[in-house]
């Protein structure tokens, strides 16, 4: 053995400092393929170790070798040019690998970034096309170099047309080339992908062993499974498989989403249900194909899924099966750009998980985690950071958020709490899960309308927030999905409450408009009113029923036009209906279920508080107009006090659920839900406003305040600007999302409690298409 890695890189350093290129020639001229193999094996696999041991940085070595190949490569013996070219490709691949493995590779959780250096692609393409480099690759990666003597492997290796080799892309521990066979098969020359393990990683026995056994482990049976890549052969340093043209899923989605981070997504950001349906279907089928082989993927990330065109449709194929060596602690690094997709039990363990440890009723639970992250990626363009579903899912499509939460809990045993495998399953549960998700997508679409430039203005102007129609469509969709079975009562309850709130608000506005017309002296007489007067025995100047509610002494404060109270009543009515429909109409704390102790008491109190607000406009506004206007200040103060109590009960329930979820280690529930925090921040302002209203009422009652029109105008202004516009319209969607998220967490707490008595019992689920009862408490 005559090689000396340190001497080699000292020569490279001298060439970098303007020494003659012969300084490199003198070192490597007499080296054999085995000497170069040992040099490549000896290379450090991280930049700091490389620089400290060889006293030269990757960048300097790459720049120097690239210049040497460009200037003098063709003038040197072919084998020298080829081996130096392979050394350069290896250094480029190591640098790319470290960038993917680095802890800073995806710190912000955004879309996976391109990590190649500026000229990496061009340099690798040029080198791999060079005949000398192709010949060197053939020698260095020959099966005999890794003591592979399987005749089938040798036959496949000898069948390559090395002249057709082209660089395709980098992997974490490999470079991937494409090419064609030398001899036709069935009248054509099939394209192949050749995955070459970067030589220094072959020092790691786990990697070398997994590479050698890959074909036996993951090759689909005869007849093929359309979403898996057919593996032709594998040796100790390479894997040969079908070539899949196209982009990775990560690259494909870069065309759909701008570069962004999850913390940049607002509650009103669009969730791409179309992409979830389009690629989600393919994902579930691909995992179903893998399940037919009795295998799990273990490294299901957006960069390990290829998107190819077939018959004019985009289809997915899974590549690079098996747990990433990075997460088995077999090489330095912390996950880099793909870490968020990998289940915590894979990231945090030392050894390759066995099938027994990885499965639960036929599922690879780590693949479920990755699947949930991919659904999030399809919906908003970024995987979830920290295992928390991004906020827009809860604001726009809480049903999808609920489904994904059931996949991405950090604890494998706490996944599929809601969507469990039903008894008698045919062993293909991914098909069952896809049916569940299809139902959730159909239900979610009932509440999603395309955003236009006027959408925000329309939401501001609509006091009903579009909630009644949305809940109605959702209720009808659930009835369709549950055809022939009992429709879940909770969905009907939420829809009914929303309708009642809307009807009461509409009735109140009608009565207010009639009252204002009378107050300003407009003619309101018609045949219907005359008929009602005769029916209830009212006089010709009386309005039936309404005028009969007036108490003795009915009147108005001095110097206060009656219409002023009508305007004030309108503002309170608009706030009341907007308040209920935008915050409370879509969620029920009773998702927690029975037997939850003190938390259950909080849930019941919050449910009562949330539903009481349906009647607020009717019982607090109409008495001011119909019974005694002089009571206006007292009713305004009482109404604000009621709102403060309801807000406190609802927000306290949400906060209590967060604490309970933390105690139970439900990782999908963050320690702080922004919507709940915003809602709790309302309480001091609510208390202050209520105290102010009570003070005004007392001062007016004892005669120390006399400017009634000024107080009415001030309160009406606060109602419109502060309560209707800022709180209910602008902050409302975020708070609604926070309450919905708390209710989803309460539902998971309920199912986790049900699972505690006996972990051995499989909880039966309903037939495909039928929604779990608790699932309908979040709309």
- Contact (CB, 8 A) for 378 and 271: no
pLDDT reading at 758 higher than 70: no
Instruction: Give the full edge-to-edge strand order of the sheet including 313-318.
Output: 247-248, 305-310, 313-318
Closest CA relative to residue 570, chosen from 512, 629, 627: 512
Residue 683's pLDDT is 95
- Separation of alpha carbons 256 and 674, rounded Å: 27
Segment 232-258 shows an average pLDDT of: 89
Three-state SS for 157-191 is HHCEEEEEEEEEEECCCEEEEEEEECCCECCECCE
- Separation of alpha carbons 729 and 373, rounded Å: 31
Residue 74's pLDDT is 59
By DSSP bridging, strand 247-248 and strand 359-360 are unpaired
- Separation of alpha carbons 618 and 505, rounded Å: 7
Least confident of 70-74, 403-407, 529-533, 683-687: 529-533
| Rg (alpha carbons) of the chain, rounded to whole number | 35
What is the tens place of the pLDDT at every residue in 337-357?
A: 677 888 888 877 655 444 444
- Separation of alpha carbons 526 and 290, rounded Å: 74
- Separation of alpha carbons 33 and 42, rounded Å: 14
Closest CA relative to residue 70, chosen from 17, 126, 6: 126
Least confident of 72-81, 445-454, 565-574, 644-653: 445-454
- Contact (CB, 8 A) for 343 and 365: yes
- Separation of alpha carbons 461 and 366, rounded Å: 46
**CB-based burial label for 161 (10 Å; 0-12, 13-18, 19+):** middle
Count H helices, E strands: the chain?
Answer: 30, 10
- Contact (CB, 8 A) for 41 and 199: yes
What is the tens place of the pLDDT at every residue in 456-478?
A: 665 666 777 778 888 888 888 88
What dihedral do alpha carbons 468, 470, 472, 478 form, nearest 10°?
-150
What dihedral do alpha carbons 76, 82, 87, 90 form, nearest 10°?
150
Residue 761's pLDDT is 41
- Separation of alpha carbons 741 and 746, rounded Å: 9
**CB-based burial label for 722 (10 Å; 0-12, 13-18, 19+):** middle
- Separation of alpha carbons 380 and 400, rounded Å: 12
Closest CA relative to residue 487, chosen from 775, 141, 717, 190: 775
Phi, psi of 289, rounded to the nearest 5 degrees: -60, -45
Residue 172's pLDDT is 82
Q: How far is CA 61 from the centre of its chain?
A: 41
Predicted TM-score (pTM) of the model is: 0.85
- Separation of alpha carbons 236 and 201, rounded Å: 11
**Using the 8-state DSSP alphabet, how is residue 232 labeled?**
E
Closest CA relative to residue 313, chosen from 231, 382, 246, 381: 246
What is the tens place of the pLDDT at every residue in 163-185?
A: 999 999 888 889 999 999 887 76
- Range among 444-458, 551-565, 609-623, 676-690 rated most confident: 676-690
Segment 679-704 shows an average pLDDT of: 94
pLDDT reading at 106 higher than 70: no
Residue 421's pLDDT is 61
What residues form DSSP beta bridges with 626? none
Checking 355-363 for CB contacts under 8 A at 24+ apart, the result is: 355/294, 355/296, 358/296, 358/298, 359/296, 360/412, 360/413, 360/416, 361/420, 361/421, 361/425, 361/429, 361/762, 362/291, 362/421, 362/425, 362/427, 362/428, 362/429, 363/416, 363/421, 363/429
- Separation of alpha carbons 27 and 259, rounded Å: 47
What is the tens place of the pLDDT at every residue in 258-298?
A: 776 655 666 667 889 999 999 999 999 998 888 888 888 88
Three-state SS for 664-681 is CCCCCCCCCCHHHHHHHH
Three-state SS for 455-512 is HHHHHHHCCCCCHHHHHHHHHHHHHHHCCCCCCCHHHHHHHHHHHHHHHHHHHHHHHH
Task: Give the three-state DSSP class for 319.
Answer: coil
Return the number of other C-beta atoms located less than 10 Å from residue 318's C-beta.
23
- Separation of alpha carbons 151 and 163, rounded Å: 23
CA angle (626 as vertex; 611, 496 as ends), nearest 5: 25
What dihedral do alpha carbons 223, 228, 229, 230 form, nearest 10°?
-30
- Contact (CB, 8 A) for 673 and 612: no
Tell me how far CA of residue 193 lies from CA of 77, 196, 230, 585, in angstroms. Answer: 29, 10, 10, 55
pLDDT reading at 668 higher than 90: yes
Do you know the residue count of the chain?
779
Residue 58's pLDDT is 85
> How crowded is the C-beta side of 170, counted as CA atoms within 13 Å?
26
Q: Band of the pLDDT at 331, cuts 50, 70, 90?
A: low
What is the tens place of the pLDDT at every residue in 693-717?
A: 999 999 998 988 888 899 999 999 9
Segment 96-100 shows an average pLDDT of: 83
Residue 635's pLDDT is 93
pLDDT reading at 363 higher than 70: no
What residues form DSSP beta bridges with 228? 318
CA angle (566 as vertex; 565, 571 as ends), nearest 5: 95
Q: How far is CA 240 from the centre of its chain?
A: 34
- Separation of alpha carbons 398 and 420, rounded Å: 19
What dihedral do alpha carbons 437, 442, 446, 451 form, nearest 10°?
80
Tell me how far CA of residue 532 lies from CA of 189, 504, 506, in angstroms. Answer: 90, 21, 20
Residue 405's pLDDT is 94
Residue with the larger pLDDT of the pair 540 and 480: 480
Please list, residue by residue across 663-687, b when 16 or more beta carbons sit within 10 angstroms of its beta carbon and e when fewer do.
ebebbbbbeebbbbbbbbebeeebe
- Separation of alpha carbons 753 and 694, rounded Å: 45
What is the tens place of the pLDDT at every residue in 215-224?
A: 888 876 655 6
Residue with the larger pLDDT of the pair 19 and 702: 702
Task: Give the three-state DSSP class for 240.
Answer: strand
Residue with the larger pLDDT of the pair 235 and 544: 235
Work out the end-to-end distance of the chain between its first and last CA atoms, rounded to an integer number of angstroms: 71
- Element housing 388 (H / E): none
């Amino acid at each position: 053995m005559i090689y000396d890695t340190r001497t080699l890189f000292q020569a490279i350093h001298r060439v970098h400092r303007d020494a003659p290129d012969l300084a490199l020639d003198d070192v490597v001229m007499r080296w054999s393929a085995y000497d170069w193999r040992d040099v490549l094996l000896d290379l450090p696999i991280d930049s700091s170790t490389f620089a400290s041991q060889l006293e030269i940085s990757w960048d300097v070595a790459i720049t120097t070798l690239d210049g040497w190949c460009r200037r003098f490569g063709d003038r040197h013996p072919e084998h020298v040019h080829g081996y130096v070219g392979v050394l350069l490709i290896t250094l480029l691949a190591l640098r790319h690998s470290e960038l993917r493995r680095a802890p800073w590779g995806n710190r912000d959780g955004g879309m996976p970034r391109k990590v190649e250096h500026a000229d990496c692609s061009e340099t690798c393409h040029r080198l791999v096309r060079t005949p000398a480099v192709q010949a060197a690759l053939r020698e260095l990666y020959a099966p005999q170099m890794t003591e592979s003597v399987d005749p089938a492997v040798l036959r496949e290796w000898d069948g390559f047309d090395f002249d057709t080799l082209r660089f395709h892309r980098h992997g974490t521990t490999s470079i991937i080339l494409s090419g064609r066979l030398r001899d036709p098969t069935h009248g054509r020359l099939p394209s192949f992908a050749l995955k070459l393990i970067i030589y220094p990683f072959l020092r790691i026995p786990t990697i070398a062993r997994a590479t050698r056994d890959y074909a036996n482990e993951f090759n689909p049976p005869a007849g093929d499974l359309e979403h898996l890549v057919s593996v032709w052969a594998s040796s100790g340093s390479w894997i040969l498989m079908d070539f899949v043209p196209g982009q990775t899923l990560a690259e494909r989605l870069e065309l759909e989403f701008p570069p962004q981070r999850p913390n940049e997504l607002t509650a009103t950001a669009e969730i791409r249900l179309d992409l979830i349906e389009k690629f989600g279907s393919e994902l579930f089928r691909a995992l179903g194909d893998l399940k037919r082989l009795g295998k799990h993927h273990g490294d299901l990330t957006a960069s390990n899924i290829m998107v190819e065109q077939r018959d004019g449709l985009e289809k997915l194929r899974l590549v690079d099966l098996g747990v990433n060596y990075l997460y088995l602690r077999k090489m330095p690094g912390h996950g880099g750009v793909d870490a968020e997709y990998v289940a915590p039990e894979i990231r945090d363990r030392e050894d390759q998980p066995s099938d027994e440890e990885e499965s639960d009723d036929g599922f690879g639970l780590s693949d479920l985690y990755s699947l949930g992250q991919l659904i999030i990626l399809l919906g908003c363009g970024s995987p979830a950071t920290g295992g928390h579903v991004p906020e827009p899912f809860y604001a726009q499509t809480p049903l999808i958020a609920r489904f994904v939460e059931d996949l991405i809990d950090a604890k494998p045993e706490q996944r599929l709490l809601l969507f469990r495998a039903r008894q008698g399953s045919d062993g293909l549960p991914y098909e069952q899960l896809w049916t569940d998700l299809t139902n959730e997508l159909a239900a979610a679409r009932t509440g999603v309308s395309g955003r236009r430039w006027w959408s925000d203005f329309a939401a501001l102007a609509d006091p009903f927030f579009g909630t009644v129609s949305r809940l109605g469509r959702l209720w009808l969709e659930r009835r369709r999905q549950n055809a022939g079975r009992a429709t879940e009562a909770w969905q009907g309850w939420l829809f009914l409450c929303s309708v009642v709130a809307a009807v009461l608000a509409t009735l109140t506005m009608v009565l207010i408009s009639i009252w204002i017309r009378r107050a300003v002296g407009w003619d309101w007489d018609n045949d219907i009113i005359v008929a009602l007067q005769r029916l209830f025995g009212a006089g010709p100047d009386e309005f039936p029923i309404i005028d009969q509610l007036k108490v003795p002494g009915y009147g108005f404060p001095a110097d206060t036009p009656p219409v002023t109270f009508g305007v004030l009543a309108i503002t309170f009515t608009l706030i009341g209906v907007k308040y209920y429909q935008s915050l409370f109409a879509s969620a029920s704390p009773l998702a927690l279920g029975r037997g939850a102790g003190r938390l259950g008491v909080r849930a019941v109190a919050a449910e009562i508080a949330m539903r009481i607000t349906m009647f607020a406009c009717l019982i607090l506004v109409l008495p001011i107009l119909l019974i005694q206007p002089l009571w206006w200040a007292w009713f305004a103060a009482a109404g604000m006090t009621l709102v403060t109590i309801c807000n406190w009960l609802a927000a306290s329930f949400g906060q209590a659920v967060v604490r309970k979820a933390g105690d139970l280690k439900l990782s999908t529930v963050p320690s702080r839900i922004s919507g709940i925090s915003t809602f709790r921040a309302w309480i001091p302002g609510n208390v202050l406003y209520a105290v102010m209203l009570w003070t005004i009422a007392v001062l007016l009652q004892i005669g120390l305040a006399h400017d009634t029109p000024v107080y009415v105008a001030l309160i009406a202004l606060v109602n419109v600007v502060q309560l209707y516009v800022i709180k209910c319209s602008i902050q409302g969607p975020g708070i609604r999302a926070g309450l919905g998220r708390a209710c989803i967490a309460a539902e998971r707490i309920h199912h986790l409690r049900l699972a505690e008595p006996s972990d051995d019992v499989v909880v039966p689920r309903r037939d495909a298409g039928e929604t779990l009862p608790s699932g309908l408490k979040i709309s």
